[in-house]
Amino acid sequence: MSAEARLRETLCELAASLFQRGLTHGSTGNISARCEDGGLLVSPTGTSFGRLDPARLARFDAAGRQVGGDPPTKEMPLHRAFYDTRSATGAVVHLHSCHSVALSTLPADDPQNWLPPVTPYAIMQLGKVTLLPYFRPGDAAMGDAVRGLNGKRGAVMLANHGPVVAGLTPEAACNAVEELEATARLALMLRGLPAQMLDGAQIADLVRVNKIAWED
């Protein structure tokens, strides 16, 4: 099996796992990965994560021209923005996961560091997560908003919409977006309670030990 064939299978297996565990639903969500030749594989528009076909993934060459597969997700500007501004990006995943969307509708203490420091794991896997405002689905302005972060964020939360996470590999991106959703769920469970969040010194220690890009 070629490297690209393995990558196609991996994307579909990961997407199916996310769907089966309720992290996205219906035909929501999209996933992409960079190929060895610099092109992209992208999930098709209007297709359920539970039923992706490896042979029908949209294929783009390194110049950004579609050369195969079904029409891609309408969120392509969002994906391209991460690949263009973060050179190490190997995959991007966008979900409509319920707890993170719910949390995005509530007032944020700091939109540039939106996710509460409930556990060390979100900090280790995601760094800071920026809350972006609401955009109409498919609006190219979403990509512009990501580009405006100048590669400083590997994860953003689209208000009233869903999280978008870039990773070195498809597995890393999916693990990180799951951590984001789990942290959002914990934040909602703890809302209004005198919860003990990680303090500044504990966060600084995590940043130092794990070499996390943290400063804006």
For residue 196, is it within any domain?
yes
Query: What per-residue confidence (pLDDT) applies to 187?
Result: 97
For residue 215, is it within any domain?
no
| Catalytic machinery residues | 75, 121
Burial 4-27 (b: 16+ CB within 10 A, else e): beebbebbbebbeebbeeebbbeb
Q: Above pLDDT 70, what percent of the chain? A: 100
d(CA 102, CA 124) in angstroms, rounded, equals 23
Give the chain's domain count: 1
Residue in 84, 86, 33, 90 with CA at minimum distance from that of residue 63: 84
- Residue 148, φ and ψ in degrees, nearest 5: -65, -15
Q: Which domain holds residue 61?
A: 3-210
For residue 167, is it within any domain?
yes
Local confidence band at 215 (pLDDT 50, 70, 90 cut-offs) = confident
For residue 89, is it within any domain?
yes
For residue 147, is it within any domain?
yes
Query: What per-residue confidence (pLDDT) applies to 216?
Result: 76
pLDDT in tens, 100-128: 999 999 999 999 999 999 999 999 999 99
What's the whole-number average pLDDT of the chain? Answer: 97
pLDDT in tens, 15-74: 999 999 999 999 999 999 999 999 999 999 999 999 999 999 999 999 999 999 999 999
Query: What per-residue confidence (pLDDT) applies to 123?
Result: 97
Asked if 79 and 92 touch (Cβ cutoff 8 Å), the reply is yes
Query: What per-residue confidence (pLDDT) applies to 1?
Result: 83
Query: What per-residue confidence (pLDDT) applies to 29?
Result: 96
For residue 85, is it within any domain?
yes
Give the burial class of 74: count Cβ atoms within 10 A of its Cβ; 0-12 exposed, 13-18 middle, 19 or more buried.
Answer: middle
Query: What per-residue confidence (pLDDT) applies to 69?
Result: 97
Asked if 33 and 170 touch (Cβ cutoff 8 Å), the reply is yes
For residue 64, is it within any domain?
yes
Residue in 69, 45, 50 with CA at minimum distance from that of residue 12: 50
What CATH number did the domain enclosing 129 receive? 3.40.225.10
pLDDT in tens, 130-170: 999 999 999 999 999 999 999 999 999 999 999 999 999 99
pLDDT in tens, 173-203: 999 999 999 999 999 999 999 999 999 999 9
Q: Hey, what are 210's tokens?
A: 């794990």
SS3 at position 208: helix
